[in-house]
Structure 1
Amino acid sequence: MTLEEPITNLIDFKDKHVIGVETVEYPFSLFIEVENGSKFSFDGIDLKDQKVLFQVNAEALKTDSITKAGGGHINVESFENKEKLDSVLTKYKADQVIYGFRVVMEDKNLQKELLKKIESKYGKGTKNPNTDNGLYWNLKKEHQYIFFAPDYDRLIVLNNTNLSKTCYWDLMNGSIDFGGCDKEVYSKELMKNTRKVADVKEKPTLVIDQNWNLDGLVLGKSNETDFVKSSLNQSFERTLMWDDAHPQVIYENNTNHIFLQFTLNNGGAENQKVNILEGYYIEDFNQVKVSFQNGIKPFSRKVDVMKLIGKDQIVDYDEVKFADYLEIKNPDYQVKLLFSHDKDINKELFEKIYVTKKPPFKP
């Protein structure tokens, strides 16, 4: 493979596939997931029963919005035809071709087979200093990188034509310096489409009440239709997440960095009244005008917020007072106030909030 094959040359629309964002894999690309790689092989090695992920360049993901959120999340959707595939690619400003693939190699014998095959063709790899057993190959003539990461059950092969020739990073391999890596320049390139605060002209006005509900929408009670009809519903994109354990409807406003989650109940793909508001996340108070009825001020120092809330209202006070967040005691909601990452606790500023209804959820 040249790793610039058109997506439609690699998949069969009759098979089940999903496409979307998987931040644990890598937050700056789209992934097309093939649950069973029985139609694929690696230089003669059958990939039956192995999950295969095709990696697709997506310009809309090259921002700091995902990395700032912290943690990992998956936002994928199925596609049954080219029209649906094209609509997703357009939404993420993504290419029509792949630039890499990943094999989830949980079978230890398969790992040995794959490594033997790679070494027979390209020789011994370079030890990855970030993992116990990881290796990598920088194949300059082939314009490819190979990352063998058995500690995380991954084989990753990438066309590096449009990638950095000096740096690489992902969660399975850590940061790798191929020689002359400038991490600051590399980071800026990964997030080159980050929206500057000055570029956001329209900032919605939000009010969070004493019970942590957003703009009159009550968690656990308000439905999707209530939100759609509200004044808050501006510049949001709707996505269905068909997770068997916890299906959701996600609304994303990537301009002002506001995200809402609704429990996707039976029939909820068409009937929005049955989907109930589950939570919200405001990622950057610079992008909105937000006020709190309990008296907290955006960008307040963490020490001042703690005084206002009171020690007895903070979960695990002795532990989180040194963390970059505070969790507020509440019988119904998980409420997290998140602060800027500054080692000086007196300068940690309140800049984002995450609130969600406590489980169990009823799909």
Structure 2
Amino acid sequence: MVSQLEAQISELVEQLGNEAELHRKDLQRAQEAESKLEALQGQLSHLEGELLSGDVLRDNLNLEKQKYLQFLDQLSEKMKLGEIADDLGFDMRLDVVLARTEQLVRLESNAVIENKTIAHNLQRKLKTQKERLESKEVHMNLLRQKIAQLQQETQARTALAVERDEAHLTVRKLEKKVERMQKELSACREYNTELKAQLADTNELKIKTLEQTKVIEDLSKSRDNLEKLKEKAEKKLMLLKSKLDTAEEEAKADKGRMTAIMELVTSELETLKKSLEEAERREQQLVEFREVVSQTLGLNLTSLAVPDYEIIKCLERVVHSHHHHLVTCACLKDTSAEHDSCPKCCLELLH
């Protein structure tokens, strides 16, 4: 009985040590799981920060796109293409601007050609008017010379009244003709001034055409710059879109891994909790068994905490005393058996 108790006690002590070791390992695993959980939470916060930075970058790109669209709207308004651009949409807006620019270039080239032809015609008319004016001046000089000759003739023909009257009439006619020629000369001069004004207008038109040509060149340069900016913006948008897609995929994958790890950690924590509860239950059983053994041995557990080696010593003494008692009982049984056999022998001898 005592050996069985000793064996049970040793088994219980060994189980208690094993349970303590398991409890220590479970605590260590719980600490490792908590550290893993903290690391995963740090990764999650880092990924959330990356997602926020991606959202900020996307907002910046949307702002640049809005500025680009606003610039296109202003350019369309300057070129008077607002309604056409609204009807065709954003994709065809650059094509409309290019077509409008080409149309302006053609119109300006046609205007330059027309202005050149008008200037050439005006110069030719001016030349003809100058020639006419010179011929009229020559004619006026001839008329003056003729008037002088007639005056000389009238002075020479003072005796002839009829001829004088005719000369006066001719002089009057010539004077009227001179007045008429002077009026024509003044009209020619006015026409000449008008032609000069028209020539000045043609020069102004030339200047305007040069300015418009310069504006068209500037518009062409701005169009090229816009195309380059559009290509850069499209490339940048594609690159950022690919980066955002990659970041979202990585975030989703990390989230899935974290979910799986969290589930694994949760299951491990539940297992650890169950094992801890089992260890506490076994520890309680061992404590109750210790109390029962102590009470059986007559030890007072309420006054002082009795160590385990005291309980083991008491059990050893009990086992030793029990063993000694068994030996004594066996000896007594043997002696009593011998005493019982002796009278029988005596009786046999007597018989």
Structure number with bigger Rg:
2
State TM-score, norm by structure 1: 0.13
Which structure is higher in RCO with an 8 Å CA cutoff and minimum separation 6? 2
TM-score, normalised by the number of residues in structure 2: 0.14
